[in-house]
Amino acid sequence: MRASQKDFENAMNQVKLLKKDPGNEVKLKLYALYKQATEGPCNMPKPGMLDFINKAKWDAWNAIGSLPKETARKNYVDLVSSLSPSSESSGRVDKEPGSESVVITSEDGITKIMLNRPAQKNAITIQMYQEILSALEATSKDDNSVITVLTGNGDYYSSGNDLTNFTNLPPGGIEEVAKTGSILLRDFVDCFIDFPKPLIAVVNGPAVGIAVTLLGLFDAVYASDRATFHTPFTQLGQTAEGCSSYTFPKIMGPAKAIEMLIFGKKLTAHEACAQGLVTEVFPDSTFQKEVWARLKAYAKLPPNAMRISKELIRHNEKEKLHAVNAEESTALQGRWLSEECMNAIINFLSRKSKL
């Protein structure tokens, strides 16, 4: 059966009302069918290799070849209706509770910042960096907040920087992304360096990249025995950040730090504990119960004494840490423009059909 122009327009409206993100693959298919239905076969010049998003769109449209406009229109309508059970297209577009990517809660003097993208292994988007930064700034000034905890929801603590952060290219192209990314990274890490109260990582599962390096700036790191610690910077054509080029050699000695930061050796929780990066490891079966009981007890300790002790322990290092952070952020800005880095990101994203 044919799809009328009215069916096509209805389907376009239904797409806007979808409550659940249908995923990149489906979105590309919808884009391609829409373009084919309205303009016919792909008539645009092929975008450059680094223009990830537009290239993905071009590829999807071009792949349809000479499919007639009418068939493309029908396929579009069919695809939308397969995504839109009647309950979903009824018009409600409220955000589901708990659908935020960073969930911030406060209870018993503990501020919990929980990374909440379990399906993406809690990969950190640009918006999440900003939200974490704002949460740290707010909690540092909140008298009711005694200790602050960073943790992850689901099976991962975090898979580190979301590699799709590199794909939404603004008009200034990759150079602009690298420049703003470097500033964001520097501000983000500065906030951890300056955080005045006890900062605890509850590492509920594997940690990758920046989720690992930042641990050197925490006051305690509690890990499930399921957690692993992986900094595959060289494999990604990138370099160390989070002040790890300074904190890791200091914590574990240069030889072990080099294995992690240059060669990308992944540590188990027990190995990371033996190297001094982790404070204590707990069996996964009792991890949450034991750790939160301990944190509740710590949050009852006199807050000012804890804050002043932290200042005494940390203040001599602050200037150095800010300088290291600035250097690392500048080095990464250059790395993000390198062919080594581009190729590594393209490989990951193509493996995941995100290009």
Ligand X SMILES: CCCCCCCCCC/C=C\CC(=O)SCCNC(=O)CCNC(=O)[C@H](O)C(C)(C)COP(=O)(O)OP(=O)(O)OC[C@H]1O[C@@H](n2cnc3c(N)ncnc32)[C@H](O)[C@@H]1OP(=O)(O)O
In whole angstroms, the minimum distance from the beta carbon of 37 to ligand X comes to 26
Among 64, 115, 163, 202, binds ligand X (CB under 6 A): 163
**Smaller CB separation from ligand X, 298 or 348:** 348
238 touches ligand X by CB under 6 A: yes
Q: How many residues touch ligand X (CB under 6 A)?
A: 28
In whole angstroms, the minimum distance from the beta carbon of 155 to ligand X comes to 8
Among 7, 190, 241, 271, binds ligand X (CB under 6 A): 241
Question: Binding to ligand X (CB under 6 A): which residues in 298-337?
Answer: 336
Pick from 246, 244, 247, 220: nearest CA to 309: 220
Binding part of the chain for ligand X, among 62-70, 77-85, 174-182, 312-320 by CB under 6 A, reads 174-182
Specify whether the CB–CB gap between 222 and 176 falls below 8 A.
no
Q: What's the residue count for the chain?
A: 355
List, in sequence order, every residue forming a beta bridge with 150; answer none if it has no partner: 113, 201
Binding part of the chain for ligand X, among 53-61, 163-171, 255-263, 296-304 by CB under 6 A, reads 163-171
> What residue has token string 């501020």?
111
CA distance 317 to 250: 12
In whole angstroms, the minimum distance from the beta carbon of 1 to ligand X comes to 33
> Mapped to the 3 state alphabet, what secondary structure does the chain carry?
CCCCHHHHHHHHHHHHHCCCCCCHHHHHHHHHHHHHHHHCCCCCCCCCCCCHHHHHHHHHHHHCCCCCHHHHHHHHHHHHHHHCCCCHHHCCCCCCCCCCCEEEEEECCEEEEEECCHHHCCCECHHHHHHHHHHHHHHHHCCCCCEEEEEECCCCCECCECHHHHCCCCCCHHHHHHHHHHHHHHHHHHHHHHCCCCEEEEECCCEECHHHHHHHHCCEEEEECCCEEECCCHHHCCCCCCCHHHHHHHHHCHHHHHHHHCCCCCEEHHHHHHCCCCCEEECHHHHHHHHHHHHHHHCCCCHHHHHHHHHHHHHHHHHHHHHHHHHHHHHHHHHHCCHHHHHHHHHHHHHCCCC
In whole angstroms, the minimum distance from the beta carbon of 210 to ligand X comes to 4
**Smaller CB separation from ligand X, 112 or 121:** 121
Question: Binding to ligand X (CB under 6 A): which residues in 24-63?
Answer: none
In whole angstroms, the minimum distance from the beta carbon of 173 to ligand X comes to 12
352 touches ligand X by CB under 6 A: yes
Specify whether the CB–CB gap between 122 and 157 falls below 8 A.
yes
189 touches ligand X by CB under 6 A: no
Binding part of the chain for ligand X, among 61-69, 203-211, 248-256, 270-278 by CB under 6 A, reads 203-211
Residue nearest to ligand X (CB): 209
**Smaller CB separation from ligand X, 33 or 123:** 123
**Smaller CB separation from ligand X, 318 or 352:** 352
Question: Binding to ligand X (CB under 6 A): which residues in 97-156?
Answer: 120-121, 123, 126, 129
In whole angstroms, the minimum distance from the beta carbon of 255 to ligand X comes to 22
Among 114, 150, 178, 324, binds ligand X (CB under 6 A): 178
Among 50, 67, 184, 326, binds ligand X (CB under 6 A): 184
Among 36, 101, 111, 159, binds ligand X (CB under 6 A): 159
**Which residues of the chain form contacts with ligand X (CB under 6 A)?**
120-121, 123, 126, 129, 159-166, 177-178, 181, 184-185, 208-210, 232, 236, 238, 241, 336, 348, 352
